Structure 1
Amino acid sequence: MRYALQWVRSAVFVGQIYFMMLPIGIVFLPWALVSSRGANAACKAWCAWVRWTARWMVGVRTEVRGTPPRHECLIVAKHQSFLDIILIFASVPSGKFIMKRELMYAPIIGQYAMKLGCVPVDRGKRSQAIKKMIADVGRGRLRPGQLIIYPQGTRIAPGVKAPYKVGSSILYEEMAQECIPVATNVGLVWPRKGIMRHPGTGVVEFLPAIEAGLPKEEFMARLEDTIETNSNRLMREAGFDPDGVH
């Protein structure tokens, strides 16, 4: 009975957060059409709504640890569910994501993502997309801010192992900016798939910066160790053993 009730609450919660994209998008549309600041404000308003309703509708609390960057940098983050996207974006002043191209055609999400300066990439053509993005940055066509990439390329369930892809190291080398790793445990309360939301606290943690200029191999080894070690720590803190998943 308790599980069924939580599922119903979760279904209502999921439905209303996607519905709220429409009125928030419409309210901010005039400002967003003339300024990326308007698009940024709209997305932050929606993130705040999601976090507020998650707390009292399904018992999901959210916490941001560490110091979110306010300067231009590369953010490389563990990706477990949509919740880590929400928390990271809400925490930085001018976040923009490297995202799947098909999302750019989604109603409201796609239009606002374009205004934010998000970078669409084709699956299977990631290296070409990154090179184009770097060229765009060099020509000043992308809005300054915090560029966010998920190094494993997709959402990864808690405890599941997946390789880190080369895109992060290419961006790190070409942009010549420091990298801010981000760990998370949000997949425990907001799974990567399905309706059910589980009461608890979803955490993202901004970790100490990795300085610019490291060799690719050293950077990738340090990045993966930092993100995975700290994500595992956050999951254990929440009562989940990531080493027990097979």
Structure 2
Amino acid sequence: MSSVLSFARSLLFTVAFYLVTAVMMIGGLPALATRRGVLWLAQTWARVVLRLLHGIVGLKVEFRGLEHRPAGAVLVAAKHQSALETLALVTVLDDFTYILKRELMWLPLFGWYLARGEMVAIDRSKGSRALALMNEEAAAAMADGRRLIIFPEGTRRAPGAAPAYKYGVAHMYDRLGVPCLPVALNTGAFWGRRRLTYRPGTAVIEFLPAIPPGVPRDTFFADLQERIETASDALLREAGLPGSARTALRAQET
């Protein structure tokens, strides 16, 4: 019975999520007039979705380490396990800009919002040139004092999966000359990576102490991974996924 109830709640939330998203994207078209309007709409949408998630599924998000957020321009490097952190992070980071794949900009309506919000799009077809173009756009965002959000592994990883960080984050950190704010989380224990399944509980997103600018690239790259992975593993254990349980969940979602 509990599995049936869980499925019903997941299905109800999924329907509510897409309905709210469609209504807000259409009704929010006037927000396209300004970038600030788009950011406000995105934050409002994310807060509504998080309330629905808590009310329907019984899943809430807890933020820790908010005091570690530095003022001004910062590179936010987050673990990526599900779509939940993509939503949740914008509710606690003002003047945000995401680094995302270019294909998302082609989506009807949604892509318009991304473009007007001045997100940094990566054209992977350009190879090494893509990194240079991304760094140029990122530098422009930093000049405006924004919170630039990047997922260093490039894609969602199952809870407990071996880390797969891309060195591009180190190049970007070195080029931008701003603090880097590592973010650990355990969202993948509650929000399915590839399936529309959601588990009740408390997902934690934790901001770790910022890494100051000026650290050598190789040292920074190793330190960033160590901080995020150590803290994320601790949060997974807190969510009840130690050792073999994490391995089992990873096998289930692949």
Q: Indicate if the aligned counterparts of 1:22 and 1:108 stay in contact, CA closer than 8 A.
A: no
Q: Take 1:79 and 1:13, find their aligned partners in 2: how far apart are those partners?
A: 21
Q: CA deviation at 1:106?
A: 1.7
Q: CA deviation at 1:141?
A: 10
Over the aligned positions, Cα root-mean-square deviation in angstroms equals: 2.0
Q: CA deviation at 1:113?
A: 1.3
Q: Does 1:163 find its partner at 2:164?
A: yes
Q: Indicate if the aligned counterparts of 2:163 and 2:229 stay in contact, CA closer than 8 A.
A: no
Q: Does 1:10 find its partner at 2:10?
A: yes
Cross-structure match for 1:52: 51
Taking the TM superposition and a 5 Å limit, the aligned residue runs for 1:66-77 are 66-67=65-66, 68-77=69-78
Q: Kindly provide the amino acid, as one letter, of the partner of residue 164 in structure 2.
A: P
Give secondary structure in 1 for the equivalent of 2:166. Answer: coil
Q: CA deviation at 1:218?
A: 0.2
Taking the TM superposition and a 5 Å limit, the aligned residue runs for 1:180-219 are 180-219=181-220
Q: Indicate if the aligned counterparts of 2:165 and 2:225 stay in contact, CA closer than 8 A.
A: yes
Cross-structure match for 2:29: 29
Q: Indicate if the aligned counterparts of 1:158 and 1:242 stay in contact, CA closer than 8 A.
A: no
Give secondary structure in 1 for the equivalent of 2:213. Answer: coil
1:132-188 per-residue CA deviation (whole Å, 9 max, x = no partner) reads 133235567985411111111100010011321111001101101110000000001
Greater Cα shift, 104-113 or 140-149: 140-149
Q: Kindly provide the amino acid, as one letter, of the partner of residue 6 in structure 1.
A: S
Q: Take 2:70 and 2:126, find their aligned partners in 1: how far apart are those partners?
A: 29
Give secondary structure in 1 for the equivalent of 2:77. Answer: strand
Give secondary structure in 1 for the equivalent of 2:28. Answer: helix
Q: Indicate if the aligned counterparts of 2:77 and 2:151 stay in contact, CA closer than 8 A.
A: yes
Q: Indicate if the aligned counterparts of 1:47 and 1:90 stay in contact, CA closer than 8 A.
A: yes
Cross-structure match for 1:90: 91
Q: Take 2:223 and 2:2, find their aligned partners in 1: how far apart are those partners?
A: 43
Cross-structure match for 1:112: 113
TM-score, with normalisation over the residues of structure 1?
Answer: 0.92
Give secondary structure in 2 for the equivalent of 1:91. Answer: coil
1:84-103 per-residue CA deviation (whole Å, 9 max, x = no partner) reads 11111111001111111111
Greater Cα shift, 3-12 or 225-234: 3-12
Residue 102 to residue 242, structure 1, CA distance change in 2 (3 Å):
farther
Residue 173 to residue 44, structure 1, CA distance change in 2 (3 Å):
same
Q: Indicate if the aligned counterparts of 1:73 and 1:179 stay in contact, CA closer than 8 A.
A: yes
Q: Take 1:92 and 1:139, find their aligned partners in 2: how far apart are those partners?
A: 18
Residue 72 to residue 126, structure 1, CA distance change in 2 (3 Å):
farther
Q: CA deviation at 1:191?
A: 1.5
1:83-136 per-residue CA deviation (whole Å, 9 max, x = no partner) reads 011111111001111111111112332111112221111346464223113323
Q: Does 1:173 find its partner at 2:174?
A: yes
Q: Indicate if the aligned counterparts of 1:117 and 1:143 stay in contact, CA closer than 8 A.
A: no
Residue 157 to residue 198, structure 1, CA distance change in 2 (3 Å):
same
Q: Take 2:177 and 2:149, find their aligned partners in 1: how far apart are those partners?
A: 15
Q: Does 1:102 find its partner at 2:103?
A: yes
Number of aligned residue pairs: 245
Percent of pairs identical after alignment? 37
Residue 72 to residue 142, structure 1, CA distance change in 2 (3 Å):
closer
Greater Cα shift, 6-15 or 51-60: 6-15
Q: Indicate if the aligned counterparts of 1:178 and 1:210 stay in contact, CA closer than 8 A.
A: yes
